[in-house]
Amino acid sequence: MIPADLIDRTANHVRTVLSCDGTGHDWWHVYRVWKMAQRIGRAENVDLLVVELAALLHDIADWKLHDGDSTIGPSMAREWLIALNLAPATTEHVCHIVANISFKGAAVEQPPLSLEGQVVQDADRLDAMGAIGIARAFAFGGARGRAIYDPAMEPTEHRTPEAYLKGTHTINHFYEKLLLLKDRMNTATGRAMAEARHQFMEDYLRRFFEEWEGK
């Protein structure tokens, strides 16, 4: 039997684990993805229990913050879900989503996801776009000691997670990931929501380059 407070307990657990993050992968990122995933999930008529749990646990240990180790997040998610006595099939479904939704390079092939996984991935990608996405990009770049911009370093299409993880400067990140997301959304709901956020980033970059040249 699923505990009535299952979602609240999971939210509180994740909030505690991520309370000190300063990279843009903190509790409030998870909170926004969770709320967005609920919204998309209702519109797309999927299993909301799986969607909510996967959204809450998707960044419990982000691979980028653990030297590229993509096994830690799913392992921590599984440990938590087993402690909740969830049905094994539900636990495996959620852990598969946690293991496979992350963007790891423009040319890196990603495993197929269930409809629930597609919903959570869209919600996560939407939080990497628009005004919030811009703020998070610079927060992550600052936390990693990356320059804001270096005209000598052009964007690249990363073919391995290792190359993507190295990165260069934050403006390149827009071209290497953020501006690609609109055309990689999975659901009709996600695609519709991505349009305005994508345009905001385009407008921001136009202004950024004007100011860079002293205009």
Contact by Cβ (8 Å): 57, 77: yes
Lookup: tokens for 7: 């979602």
Rounded to whole angstroms, the Cα distance separating 92 from 207 reads: 45
Contact (CB, 8 A) for 137 and 173 = yes
- Is there a contact between 143 and 173 (Cβ–Cβ < 8 Å)? no
pLDDT value of residue 71: 87
Q: Which amino acid is at 126?
A: L
pLDDT for the residue 4: 62
Rounded-to-integer distance, Cα 99 and Cα 83, Å: 19
- Predicted pLDDT of residue 1: 47
pLDDT of 103-136, one tens digit each? Answer: 999 999 999 999 999 999 999 999 999 999 999 9
Report the amino acid identity of residue 50: V
CA neighbours closer than 13 Å in the CB half-sphere of residue 124: 28
Domain 6-212 classification at class level: mainly alpha
33 neighbors 124 (Cβ within 8 angstroms): yes
Contact 90, 139 (CB under 8 A): no
Sequence letter at residue 189: T
For 177-202, give the DSSP string: TGGGGGGG--SHHHHHHHHHHHHHHH
Instruction: Residue 53: name the closest of 64, 41, 44, 69 by CA.
Output: 41
Q: Is 169 helix (H, G, I), strand (E, B) or coil?
A: coil
d(CA 182, CA 50): 24
Phi, psi of 213 (to 5 degrees): -90, 10
Low-confidence ranges of the chain (pLDDT < 50): 1
Indicate the SS3 state at residue 67.
coil
